[in-house]
Amino acid sequence: MNKGNNKLLISSSAKETIRDSVLLAEELNTGIEISRIPLYKSSELTLEDTKDILKRDLGGYKGRITLHAMFTDVNVASQDVELRAVSQKRCIQSFEVGKAIGADTILFHTGNKGTKHYGSIKSFKKNFEIFWKEFIKEFESAGITAVIENVYETGPEFCIDLFNSVNSEYFKLALDIGHVNLYAGETKITDWIRAYGENLYHLHIHNNFGTNDDHSNLENGKIDYKEVFDEIKRQKINPTFVLEMFSETDIRKSVEIYNKLMF
């Protein structure tokens, strides 16, 4: 496998264990995104324990590795100073894990809860920028790319504003297609792709029917992936695609659909 050119990855949640998902990625000749960092669920695990666990599970794997940073209740821009400090610690720990396992990309959620209070939005963006303008220096030194993913955002402008405020070649945009279908209302997925343009670096692809974050295969939902892939080709961009599904059956089916529609 040519690690540098590997643009299709599967989620490590595809199988019951990370090790089994790694073996599936090897079989399918894809990269892998580590979707959960064990540290967040156990107060007994240390950061070093977590690194050792993931290194063991990835043992011998030669494909491309990306990492989904810890995200549960994480908000690095919270107005609560203590919550903000814990959230920033989780992001720093995620970076340390990513560096230890050889990830070339680490994905973070914005932490935005979709408030429509202008003062809160202004405060969020200010705190976000303060943290990330300093934090991104670690990525620049390590040669790792940080990407920021939409969740509750209703349009692309919010994430684009964050991207512009950090202003680093190691800080890019990630687009979760399933989240757009759930939370963006009338905003079309193709509009997001055009708005992100060449800065669209990383894609989470899965499907749903607009009512639950199903993470189902590319055909099982309302999203027209032919339209999505056609727009990506029209824009002449070359992002990473992560099949963010949580069953082997959905992964295998989606690999076939991806190959059919993209090539």
How would DSSP label each residue in 157-207?
HHHHHHHHHH--TTEEEEEEHHHHHHH-TT--HHHHHHHHGGGEEEEEE-B
pLDDT of residue 6: 83
The CATH number of whichever domain residue 197 belongs to comes to 3.20.20.150
Cβ neighbours of residue 80 closer than 8 Å, sequence gap 6 or more: none
Q: How far apart are CA 172 and CA 183, in angstroms?
A: 21
Contacts of 230 (CB under 8 A, 6+ apart): none
Structural contact between residues 201 and 147, judged by C-beta atoms closer than 8 angstroms: yes
Predicted local confidence at residue 42, as pLDDT: 83
d(CA 81, CA 133): 18
- What is the span of the domain harbouring residue 207? 3-262
* Cα first-last separation, the chain: 18
- Dihedral angle over CA of 207, 224, 237, 173, nearest 10: -40
* pTM, two decimal places: 0.96
Question: What pLDDT does 5 receive?
Answer: 42
State the Cα–Cα distance between residues 166 and 139, nearest whole angstrom: 12
Q: Which helix (H) or strand (E) holds 135?
A: helix 118-142
Q: Report the number of distinct structural domains present in the chain.
A: 1
pLDDT of residue 114: 82
The predicted pLDDT at position 116 comes to 80
Q: Residue 117's pLDDT is what?
A: 87
What is the pLDDT, as a whole number, of residue 2?
35
Q: What is the pLDDT of residue 18?
A: 96
> Which residues are CB-contacts of 172 (< 8 A; sequence separation ≥ 6)?
145, 146, 147, 148, 163, 199, 200, 201, 202
Mean pLDDT per 10-residue section of the chain, whose length is 263 residues: 66 96 97 93 90 96 97 95 97 98 98 87 95 98 98 96 97 98 94 98 98 98 98 97 98 97 93
